[in-house]
């Protein structure tokens, strides 16, 4: 792995390690080492270097929201009355557990958020009582996702 000014240059071994971990982040280091015919410490060192280089941002468990009763996914474009209100609006959005993503965007919206809701009634309550009541939010535009058809990371 070499770090250039703009990005990392990964060798073939790094790419294989990343592909294995992207498929299953719980794959033991010894199993990866066996597949690559390397020592466990060599694989561990490479993983550590990838973490230090900020390419690996940790590993996590991915829950199925529908199994928890969250069957409605919505994307909401948030219009702010002033761009300088962004930090305080984001601080308030962070307090809403159903907000799972928040993006500072170009175009018409100031902020684009993704929220997980139990149903349309829950979505309406979040919009009316929590999101639209944030100081500086002038209006919102909501899109309900009918089905997530692609869910992946960038390819290595």
Domains of the chain with CATH codes = 2-52 (1.10.10.10), 65-145 (3.30.70.920)
Task: Return all residues near 112 (Cβ < 8 A) that are at least 6 apart.
Answer: 75, 76, 77, 78, 102, 103, 105
Q: How confident is the model at residue 136 (pLDDT cuts 50, 70, 90)?
A: very high
Q: Are 102 and 54 in contact (CB under 8 A)?
A: no
Mean pLDDT of the chain, nearest integer: 93
pTM equals: 0.83
Calculate the alpha carbon distances from 60 to 14, 22, 24, 63, 112 in Å.
20, 11, 10, 10, 24
């Amino acid at each position: 792995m070499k770090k250039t000014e703009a990005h990392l240059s990964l060798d073939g071994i790094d790419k294989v390690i990343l592909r294995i971990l992207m498929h299953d982040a719980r794959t033991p280091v010894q199993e990866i080492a066996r597949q690559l015919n390397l020592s466990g410490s060599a694989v561990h060192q490479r993983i550590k270097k990838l973490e230090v280089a900020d390419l690996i941002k940790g590993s996590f468990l991915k829950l199925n929201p529908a199994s928890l009763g969250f069957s409605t996914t919505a994307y909401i474009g948030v219009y702010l009355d002033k761009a300088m209100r962004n930090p305080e609006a984001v601080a308030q959005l962070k307090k809403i557990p159903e907000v799972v993503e928040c993006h500072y965007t170009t175009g018409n919206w100031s902020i684009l958020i993704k929220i997980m809701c139990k149903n349309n009634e829950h979505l309406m309550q979040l919009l009316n009582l929590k999101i639209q009541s944030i100081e500086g939010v002038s209006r919102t535009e909501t899109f309900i996702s009918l089905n997530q058809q692609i869910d992946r990371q960038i390819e290595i």
